[in-house]
Structure 1
Amino acid sequence: MGAMPSIPTEIPTTQGQRMLRVTLLALLWLLSLIAVFWTLNLKDPHLLPFRALESWVLLACCLLLAALHLLQRGKPARLLGVGTLLGCMLLVALAEYRLQAQKALVQEARIDAAQQLGAHLLIGYRQFEELRPLVSQGLIGGVFVTRRNLRGRDLAALQAEIRELQTLRQRAGLPPLLIAADQEGGMVAHLSPPLQKRPALASLDAADDSTLEQLAQDYGRDQGAELAALGVNLNFSPVVDLRQTHANNRLDFHSRISQRAISDDPQRTLLVARGYVRGLASQGVHATLKHFPGFAGVVGDTHHFSAHLGTPLATLRARDWLPFREVAGQSQALMMLGHVVLDELDAEQLVSTSQKLVQGVIRGEWQHQGVLITDDLSMAAAYNRGLCTVGVDALNAGVDLLLVSYDHEKIYPLLDCLDRARADGRLDLQRLQQSRARLDRLAR
């Protein structure tokens, strides 16, 4: 028999080079696709921490990737790669130009109905100087203060800043600003410290029914006094969603209703909420009932994902809506509408933009004429539907305030968009007039 053929122990150099080339080419196209995705999601709220450098970094990445595509051997692939990246660079430049143009349009008060529309906007901020013209020209109706406004400063500095904002309004002959905070107690207390760190309202749930409401009123009075001293006149609390009974969702990073809800009992939730709202009001601070329609049956985290509520309407009316309906009917508390789809009543719209919910249930069945506010429009469940679309739909539904608290820069495209919608006849001006009357009543 002849000798067995030897098996090569090494891959020939040319084959190794070919594999390396294919791997590097695949990596190049993968990075190029990531650049395209990033371009299409430029200035997404999730990328806010990198906002200052985002456009410049993306432009540099696109330029580098385009240069690498020039090294490809095949002309069609080379042209496709370079063309795609240059297109991304053009889109980034146009997006940056458009934002700066929108900023100038708003800050220079070149929007025809700026004050009419701005009264419906409540925004967060980072730089006081950027906020000043928005306040003095009536381009917003309220301001949200949180931990970032205290970073590197003490409480007295924030107090002085709030006082200056109200002085600017007074000098301009405009109504006082709503100054909002998010002090639920427990895990959500964005001004603590330096404000006192208080337990969640759920800590009262162990009390007897006969003392529960009074304990909640005392809690609200003490917290309200502290907030009022700072200059805050609106608190995004209490959470009157019923405590969830389903298993925790590992992708629920921020909602965590089970840890924030008062109780799984609607009657006890009602007692705590009513007492708490009364306590805040005694100090001149408005409360906010959240998050309608009740998130006990919601699994998704609307900060990052879309979510649906499949709880039957009969159950919602009998249980989940009881604290909202009763406390709202007995107080001036605002009601915050969540960015969830209530499948049985309106499978197309978010609750925060649904005329069937706002006009059919809240304004219709309940005959409630209090102020309604959206949850933050920076949240993915709303933002991914289109900031302009959601803003217009919410106002047309009869919501009074649009909250833009996390990504404050969205105020510029939103106000520009609302003005164009008004000019095009896409905004219901009668609804806006009714809404303004509700806001005026709240300010008295």
Structure 2
Amino acid sequence: MHHADRHLSCRCPGRSPTGRGFCCRVGGSVWRALWRSTLRRQLAADGKRAPLRRPRGDHARDPPSGLVSARHTARPGRDVTVIPAIKAAAVSAVALTTVAALLAIAWHLKHPLLYAVRPLETPILLAAAAFGGVTAVRGRYGWWPAGRRSLVLCVGALALLTLGREFEFAATRHRVIEGSDDLRTLGAHFVVGFREIDEVEALAANGLIGGVYITRRNLRHGLTALAADLARLQRHRRAAGLPPLIVAADQEGGEVSHLSPWLERLPPLSSLVRDTDPAPLVERVRRYGERQGVGLAKLGVTLNLAPVVDLRPALADGRGDFLTALASRAIADDPTLVGEVAEAYVAGLADAGIVATLKHFPGLRRVHADTHLRRASLSETPEALEPDWLPFRRLAVTTETAIMLGHVRLAALDSEHAASHSRVVVRNLLRREWGYTGVLITDDLNMGAVYGEGIDRVAAQALAAGVDLVLVSYDPEQYYRAIGGAAEALARSEIDRDVLHASCERLTRLRARHSPGKDQAPETARG
């Protein structure tokens, strides 16, 4: 039986005695016609004419001249043109699948997951489009005719989409750099990462950002060079009559020590809990915080994104947080102990002039998804989460710290938005019920839990909710999309200007708790 006639058991109405229904008979006829038409076109292109099926009988072993190569000796009854057709279809399928994948990348051009190859992203896509177009037009590699036409259309779409996305981003960036009163109003609420200081120098001088985030990639030229760069940014701010930049870092101790080894790498806070030192725990933790804070202050840091006050989860609870690694970062699983240790650590940082940040509210202990990669939610009620929130509530009242909002949804309060951009969580729970008057900062908006919702939309919702600082650290170029979306929301009155004004007052109080360092880089800093 011809392979086009093979069929599974047919269940359509009107089946014939052979078991094939009307739709199957028609579909089979159409498929055979298309298949034979394709083979005829291929033979015509090669200047050959031959029967579509091998002759049977005495001459079955003698294929038509030039139709079958020595490598493809056909068996009796086998279609001698099947192998070239399969090859053409396979080449076309592989090419179209590759272009489809490249189209998906072009649609998400400048995605944070591709940040490592950002300089090569657009050139690679355009080169792939050019190569695919040339090979398809020239008809090499045995293209299936329909596949070749489809490929030409796809690579054209790939080139247009890539250029369109690139121009769209360039236009957004240009609008932001030009600056406007609304952009400067919003810029005071953005903390942005960078690779080279030139990327943020103009933004800082023009009031388009309120702070910068520094990490290991900024220390390629050494500690002294980075300290000098940060001091230069602060001088630009003073010359422009702007408040000092907030300089944030992520120096928890242990594995999350993003400024080490340039700054001293201290063990995690949890190690102090297990330590057998006879000195009181609170005293040891406070000295630890001050020691860490002195190094940060010499560099020019004003806000440390620590401590982690999430309760430690069980090691075998099925967590999928290999990027968060909460089990090794959390202080302990006892909320009272976590509160005591965190309070002493915050006091130690304050002794060195550094403001601490409690993270990651509403807590990651019960979360089994990694918010770096995908959405996560908590199904428990606020009453059930009270033990997890005890360290946050204790320090929110007794200390002057910031709180980092994680990208976790509190389903019982707001199932539509993560805590980082939820009005219900920010206004009703934290501001009204808890009475918290400190600074709220989001976790990085490049994280997968919220980036897929649109970084422009999430940034606007966070500011509208009353969040004070929006963090865009891993992929700094996303800042332009984020503030662009916030500016559009402000123009549509989706962000209340009174909310922004109240937020600015909280940021002023935050800056007042820190005395900026000297303009010059410290001589004691190690390169």
Q: Give the TM-score category using the shorter length.
A: over 0.9
Residue deviations 1:17-63 (CA, integer Å, cap 9, x gap)? 33322221221121021012111211110000111110111111122
Q: What is the alpha-carbon distance in structure 1 between the residues aligned to residue 207 and residue 125 of structure 2? A: 35
Query: Helix, strand or coil for the counterpart of 2:445?
Result: coil
TM (norm. structure 1) is 0.93
Q: Which of 341, 344, 354 pairs up with 1:275? A: 344
Question: What is the one-letter code of the residue matched to 2:414?
Answer: D
Other-structure match for 2:8: none
Counterparts in 2 of 1:172 and 1:321: CA distance versus 1, 3 Å: same
Other-structure match for 1:49: 116
Question: What is the one-letter code of the residue matched to 1:99?
Answer: F
Between stretches 237-246 and 43-52, larger displacement belongs to 237-246
Q: What is the alpha-carbon distance in structure 2 between the residues aligned to residue 81 and residue 430 of structure 1? A: 54
Question: What is the one-letter code of the residue matched to 1:342?
Answer: L
Other-structure match for 1:143: 212
Query: Helix, strand or coil for the counterpart of 1:344?
Result: coil
Paired residues of 1:112 and 1:419 also in contact (CA < 8 A): no
Q: Which of 359, 369, 380 pairs up with 2:437? A: 369
Question: What is the one-letter code of the residue matched to 1:63?
Answer: A
Residue deviations 1:61-94 (CA, integer Å, cap 9, x gap)? 122223344434435x444332232122112111
- Superposition pairs of residues 197-208 of structure 1, within 5 angstroms: 197-206=265-274
Q: Which of 161, 166, 179 pairs up with 2:247? A: 179
- Name stretches of at least 5 consecutive residues in structure 2 with no aligned partner: 1-59, 62-70, 75-79, 513-527
Paired residues of 2:85 and 2:144 also in contact (CA < 8 A): no
Other-structure match for 2:334: 265
Other-structure match for 1:389: 457
Question: What is the one-letter code of the residue matched to 1:105?
Answer: R
Other-structure match for 2:389: 321
Q: What is the alpha-carbon distance in structure 2 between the residues aligned to residue 415 and residue 129 of structure 1? A: 19
Question: What is the one-letter code of the residue matched to 2:507?
Answer: L
Query: Helix, strand or coil for the counterpart of 1:329?
Result: helix
Other-structure match for 2:523: none
Residue deviations 1:291-312 (CA, integer Å, cap 9, x gap)? 0001001111111111122334
Residue deviations 1:270-320 (CA, integer Å, cap 9, x gap)? 001000001101111000000000100111111111112233422211x11
Q: What is the alpha-carbon distance in structure 1 between the residues aligned to residue 193 and residue 250 of structure 2? A: 12
Q: Which of 354, 358, 374 pairs up with 1:285? A: 354
TM-fit CA distance, 1:16: 2.8
Q: What is the alpha-carbon distance in structure 2 between the residues aligned to residue 380 and residue 68 of structure 1? A: 37
TM-fit CA distance, 1:252: 2.7
Q: What is the alpha-carbon distance in structure 2 between the residues aligned to residue 170 and residue 200 of structure 1? A: 36
Q: What is the alpha-carbon distance in structure 1 between the residues aligned to residue 408 and residue 192 of structure 2? A: 21
Q: What is the alpha-carbon distance in structure 2 between the residues aligned to residue 403 and residue 172 of structure 1? A: 23
CA RMSD, Structure 1 to Structure 2 (Å) = 2.1
Q: How many percent of aligned residue pairs carry the same amino acid? A: 41
Other-structure match for 1:301: 370
Other-structure match for 2:308: 239
Other-structure match for 1:429: 497
Q: What is the alpha-carbon distance in structure 1 between the residues aligned to residue 360 and residue 133 of structure 2? A: 47
Q: What is the alpha-carbon distance in structure 1 between the residues aligned to residue 132 and residue 495 of structure 2? A: 44
TM-fit CA distance, 1:194: 1.2
TM-fit CA distance, 1:250: 7.5
Other-structure match for 1:349: 417
Paired residues of 1:62 and 1:85 also in contact (CA < 8 A): yes
* Residue 131 (1) aligns with residue 210 (2): no
Query: Helix, strand or coil for the counterpart of 2:118?
Result: helix
Counterparts in 2 of 1:198 and 1:11: CA distance versus 1, 3 Å: farther
- Name stretches of at least 5 consecutive residues in structure 1 with no aligned partner: none
Q: What is the alpha-carbon distance in structure 1 between the residues aligned to residue 199 and residue 421 of structure 2? A: 29
Other-structure match for 2:524: none
Q: What is the alpha-carbon distance in structure 1 between the residues aligned to residue 165 and residue 113 of structure 2? A: 17
TM-fit CA distance, 1:442: 1.1
Q: What is the alpha-carbon distance in structure 2 between the residues aligned to residue 311 and residue 98 of structure 1? A: 42
Q: What is the alpha-carbon distance in structure 1 between the residues aligned to residue 345 and residue 247 of structure 2? A: 19
Q: Number of aligned residue pairs: give it.
A: 435
Between stretches 62-71 and 280-289, larger displacement belongs to 62-71
TM (norm. structure 2) is 0.79
Other-structure match for 2:292: 223
Paired residues of 2:319 and 2:369 also in contact (CA < 8 A): no
Q: What is the alpha-carbon distance in structure 2 between the residues aligned to residue 309 and residue 246 of structure 1? A: 19
Q: What is the alpha-carbon distance in structure 2 between the residues aligned to residue 349 and residue 68 of structure 1? A: 47
Paired residues of 2:319 and 2:367 also in contact (CA < 8 A): no
Other-structure match for 1:87: 157
Question: What is the one-letter code of the residue matched to 2:356?
Answer: A
